Amino acid sequence: MSPMISVILPSYKHAKYLPKRIESILGQTYSDFELIIIDDCSPDNSDEVIRLYTDDPRVTYIRNKVNTGTPFSAWRRGSKMARGKYIWICESDDFAELNFLEIGVKALEDSG
């Protein structure tokens, strides 16, 4: 079955923010989602940090071999891979309240 939400997380040089961001996604009270992480060939230790979360079956991780220089390519690539009814594109240096998806999905489903 396809998940309700596809979460796309582009990242570049945000290793210090990634644990809080990824945990704020994986810890959501609404759990019917997939997380697609696309790292744009970060020169910091982002790859090591992201790999700590790849055992979760909801996580798909892609590391670009060459830096594209723009998050738009990750948005496009992630959107093509997405299997969910809805897409949430996240910023890698932010975090979300743990009930964000629960509230958002309810609002989306109730509206229409």
pLDDT for the residue 31: 96
Q: What percent of the chain has pLDDT over 70?
A: 99
Q: Tell me the pLDDT tens digit for each residue of 71-87.
A: 999 999 999 999 999 99
pLDDT for the residue 49: 98
Q: Stretch 49-69: mean pLDDT, rounded?
A: 97
Strand ranges inside 12-106, DSSP E: 33-39, 59-63, 86-89
User: pLDDT band at 1, cuts 50/70/90?
Assistant: confident
Distance CA 36, CA 39 (A): 10
Intra-chain end-to-end CA distance of the chain, in Å: 22
Average pLDDT, the chain: 97
State yes or no: pLDDT of 61 exceeds 90.
Answer: yes
Tell me how crowded residue 105 is: count the other CB atoms within 10 A of its CB: 19
CB contact at 8 A, 2 and 73: no
Q: Stretch 55-83: mean pLDDT, rounded?
A: 96
